[in-house]
Structure 1
Amino acid sequence: MRKHSIKNTRINGEVQRELANIIRGEIKDPRIHPMTSVVAVEVAPDLKTCKAWISVLGNEQAQQDTIAGLKSAEGFIRRKLAHTINLRNTPEIRFVLDQSIEYGVSMSKLIDDVNSHSEKREDEHED
């Protein structure tokens, strides 16, 4: 099976959706921040392993606590996935902290700062 086959893409989407539902609604660990989202999921073609990119809207400590909480709840999450998704193998999940949303927000803020600064300079030159 090719790495990016239609079947694999469909499985990735289904695992991502179910993983988000499990994290949002079924895990009671207080370390997991309420603003946690599953950005992407990549299931290996042999269905043995899975990488889940997790984004946490919060400070550095909240991000680290959330990843630690998810890693400790991996067995529970795998069991829930096995019940909801009918796959030959339930993949072993590896959680990866994704900071792309945070990076995008900070870049957007920097661009806005530069734009507002250049508008002020243009206003000064017109006077």
Structure 2
Amino acid sequence: MEFQRSHRVGDQIHKEISVLLVKGLKDPRIGFVTITSVEVTPDLHLARVFFTVMGDEKARRESEAGLKSSTPFIRRELGKRLRMRYTPDLLFCYDTSVDYGNRIDKLLQDIQDEQQDDQGDSGKD
């Protein structure tokens, strides 16, 4: 029962923060940020908000700093919108799984290109 509740709260937090990123935050450091997932502890006191950023390492660091400085505002807005007795503390974490997936895709593409080159070279003999 608690697992389902924390999962539902995480989904709602995900939706609300996504809306706030589009409409409510004015911090110029926050670039094109996408919330990938939200994990809420079973006691509903901590929410880990995973995000990705379009751009380079500098854009990621600036967006992360902007999100961390906006945490009190975001938490206050969540409190108004979610109507919970206690609004979870927010911890913003950069989601490395997208970078990891992109790296694997590139490695697979490199292998495929190498195989095609080898087949092309063997056909010239």
TM-score normalized by structure 1? 0.90
- Which whole-Å CA distance do the structure 2 matches of 1:25 and 1:115 have between them? 43
The root-mean-square deviation of aligned C-alpha atoms, in Å, is 1.3
Provide the C-alpha distance between the structure 1 equivalents of 2:54 and 2:97, rounded to a whole number of angstroms. Answer: 11
Cα separation, 2, equivalents of 1:10 and 1:92: 16
Matched, 1:45 2:42: yes
Answer yes or no: is the 8 Å Cα contact 2:6–2:44 preserved in 1. no
> Could you list the per-position Cα deviations for residues 39-86 of structure 1 after superposition, in whole angstroms to 9, with x for gaps in the alignment?
111112222211111111211111111111011111110111111112
- The share of aligned pairs that are identical, in percent, is 31
4+ residue runs over 2 A deviation? none
Work out the CA distance in 1 between the residues paired with 2:27 and 2:13: 21
| SS in structure 1 of the partner of residue 43 of structure 2 | coil
Give the corresponding residue for 1:82.
Answer: 79
Partners of 1:27 and 1:79 lie apart in 2 by 13
Q: What secondary structure, in the 3-state scheme, does the structure 2 residue paired with 1:96 have? A: strand
Note the alpha carbon deviations across 1:10-29, whole angstroms, 9 max, x for none. Answer: 11111111111112221010
5+ long unaligned stretches in structure 2: none
| Alignment equivalent of 1:22, drawn from 20, 27, 50 | 20
Write the distance in 2 (CA, Å) between the matches of 1:112 and 1:68: 34
Q: Structure 2 residue aligned with 1:36, among 18, 33, 37?
A: 33
TM-score by length of 2: 0.91
Q: How far apart, CA to CA, are the structure 2 residues paired with 1:42 and 1:103?
A: 20
Cα deviation for residue 106 of structure 1 reads 2.3
